[in-house]
Amino acid sequence: MNPLEILQRTPKTNCGECGHPACLAFAAAVARAGAEITLCPYIDLQGIETKVPLVTKDFDDLAVQVAEEHDMALVEYLQ
């Protein structure tokens, strides 16, 4: 999305609750710098897929990797 598309979804009140001085600055930060769109508590997110970090997925992947490494080390030891 470009900054103007994001700006259209904001309340355009320049409340500053997102941490930016104006809605346009917020929209630019989201579009250009990758700021999280959910920082604006009033933004219309209907039809937008937001990125939510899947922390548990990362830990699950790490657990599988550690288990596989452990299994391989055990096999090498037994040989």
The CATH code of the domain that includes 27 is: 1.10.15.40
User: What is the domain extent for residue 24?
Assistant: 3-78
pTM here is 0.61
- Sequence-distant (6+) residues with CB within 8 A of 37 are 6, 30, 43, 45, 48, 50
Tens-of-pLDDT digits for all 79 residues of the chain?
A: 899 999 999 999 999 999 999 999 999 999 998 899 999 999 999 987 765 544 445 556 666 777 788 778 888 888 8
Domain count, the chain: 1
- At 12, give phi and psi (nearest 5°): 60, 40
Q: Where are the alpha helices (DSSP H) in 18-54?
A: 23-33
Identify residue 58 by its one-letter amino acid code.
D
Give the C-alpha distances (Å, rounded to integers) separating 18 from 36, 60, 67, 69, 78: 10, 32, 42, 43, 57
